[in-house]
Homo-oligomer: A and B are copies of this chain.
Amino acid sequence: MNSARQYHRFPATLTLRRGGVLERPTIAYETWGRLNARRDNAVLIFTGLSPSAHAASSPVDPSTGWWEEIVGPCRPIDTNRYFVICVNSLGSCFGSTGPASIEPKTNEAYRLTFPVLTLEDVAVGGKAVVDALGIESLHSVVGPSMGGMTALAFAAQFPDTARSLVLISTGLRSLPHAISLRSLQREMIRRDPDWRDGRYAGDGPVTGMRLARKLGMITYRSGKEWEQRFGRERIPGERPTGDPFAPEFEIESYLEHHAQKFTGSFDANCYLYLSRASDLFDFAEHGVTMQAAARRIQADRILVVGVESDFLFRIEQQRELADVFTAAGKRVTLVELDSIQGHDSFLVDMDRFRPVLSRFFNGDWSTLAATA
């Protein structure tokens, strides 16, 4: 079925990795294309922190998806050929159970009573959907950013399910620089008096969310891109008098615009849980060593795509990913792209990402490395 949002409800309680139990949680997902007779053409996509399961438009939901140019008929992940599944992360707020959901027992939102979330739990949510669809073997698990770490968590926990992995602008674990940035974003939200220890009404800590989003934008893009786009351009028109710190540069206005767009669209507590889940991820927890963890995974075709200007998941982390899986005996292709849009390149630099993903999903392994 090519449909808008669908839901899978766990048949029983779900115990999370760090303890804590959810009462029959729900995972929202969307699918595109058709499962073939051998049920072996499915591709599972995990998302970054903030997107929903709506990766691409469909006849039922024609609104533009977050990866519209990558997923669809005759697109790089070709839905004429593949059955594509995208899940909304457990802990998020677009249909899957998360801190903003109503707890059945109390009939109130979980808020901070939601258990500590890990990306391993998010991966379990994806596996439940795959099982419910009657799929035993996936062609591929794909994940950009946080979704890449979730794909690794999936492969580590269900080593026989995926035949290949596509890991984009991600890492084997969260490093202190990224942890410090996310920790600061969380603090901005938690220090907003409107957060009220998570018990806010309505949109809640709008100021904190705006600040956190601005810091997000700064870490998702690159200095070089902004220098080309904005330079020192000033906001046209008269400056308001009486405020010596009023926005004066175009870059300030750009950030404000993006911050405004974000607030109200994402629940603050969900953001906090998913942000912390990213910090907690460490692939090394799945084996005595990183390589031991990598060796256990059956997928033998692994594509790692990184961007030189990425500040959040540095290119060195992509190289480390490739090294660990190569040493574990996998067939790894590392593609380093010179996009200037930083971490967000997989969302915006389609001219560079399209050919890489096209060749991978066409099976053109030999020409893959040449696309960089």
Q: Are A249 and B279 in contact (CB under 8 A)?
A: yes
Smallest beta-carbon distance A81→chain B, Å: 39
Given the contacts A232-B173, A232-B174, A273-B244, A251 and B188 also touching, CB distance less than 8 Å: no
Is A50 interfacial (CB-CB < 8 Å)? no
Q: Are B314 and A183 in contact (CB under 8 A)?
A: no
Is A135 interfacial (CB-CB < 8 Å)? no
Q: Are B249 and A272 in contact (CB under 8 A)?
A: no
Is A291 interfacial (CB-CB < 8 Å)? no
Smallest beta-carbon distance A232→chain B, Å: 6
Interface string of A224-267 (1 = CB under 8 A from B): 00110111100000000000110111111001000000000000
Q: Are B177 and A226 in contact (CB under 8 A)?
A: yes
Which of these binds chain B: A30-38, A211-219, A353-361?
A: A211-219
Is A334 interfacial (CB-CB < 8 Å)? no
Interface string of A112-123 (1 = CB under 8 A from B): 101110000000
Is A175 interfacial (CB-CB < 8 Å)? yes
Given the contacts A181-B218, A244-B273, A314-B223, A187 and B211 also touching, CB distance less than 8 Å: yes
Q: Are B176 and A230 in contact (CB under 8 A)?
A: yes
Q: Are B273 and A180 in contact (CB under 8 A)?
A: no
Is A369 interfacial (CB-CB < 8 Å)? no
Q: Are A232 and B183 in contact (CB under 8 A)?
A: no
Chain B residue nearest to A218 in the complex (CB): B180
Q: Are B244 and A112 in contact (CB under 8 A)?
A: yes
Is A104 interfacial (CB-CB < 8 Å)? no
Is A296 interfacial (CB-CB < 8 Å)? no
- Among A183-201, those with CB < 8 Å from B are 183-184, 186-188, 190-191, 193
Chain B residue nearest to A114 in the complex (CB): B244
Is A323 interfacial (CB-CB < 8 Å)? no
Smallest beta-carbon distance A19→chain B, Å: 11
Identical subunits present: 2
B-chain residues with CB within 8 Å of residue A215 when the two chains form the complex:
184, 215
Interface string of A149-170 (1 = CB under 8 A from B): 0000000000000000000000
Q: Are A176 and B244 in contact (CB under 8 A)?
A: no
Q: Are A214 and B184 in contact (CB under 8 A)?
A: yes
Q: Are A226 and B176 in contact (CB under 8 A)?
A: yes
- In the complex, A202→B93 CA distance in Å? 41
- In the complex, A282→B183 CA distance in Å? 33
Is A276 interfacial (CB-CB < 8 Å)? yes
Q: Are B282 and A247 in contact (CB under 8 A)?
A: no
Is A324 interfacial (CB-CB < 8 Å)? no
Q: Are B190 and A193 in contact (CB under 8 A)?
A: no
Q: Are B252 and A180 in contact (CB under 8 A)?
A: yes
Smallest beta-carbon distance A277→chain B, Å: 10
Chain B residue nearest to A242 in the complex (CB): B112
Smallest beta-carbon distance A224→chain B, Å: 8
Q: Are B179 and A252 in contact (CB under 8 A)?
A: yes
What are 19 A-B pairs at a CB distance below 8 A? A114-B244, A174-B232, A175-B227, A176-B227, A177-B223, A179-B232, A179-B251, A180-B218, A183-B255, A184-B218, A184-B255, A186-B245, A188-B188, A190-B245, A191-B207, A211-B211, A215-B215, A232-B282, A245-B276
Given contact pairs A180-B217, A183-B251, a sample of 15 additional A-B residue pairs in the complex whose CB atoms are under 8 Å apart: A173-B232, A175-B232, A176-B226, A176-B249, A176-B250, A177-B226, A179-B252, A181-B218, A184-B214, A187-B214, A190-B245, A211-B211, A215-B215, A244-B272, A245-B272
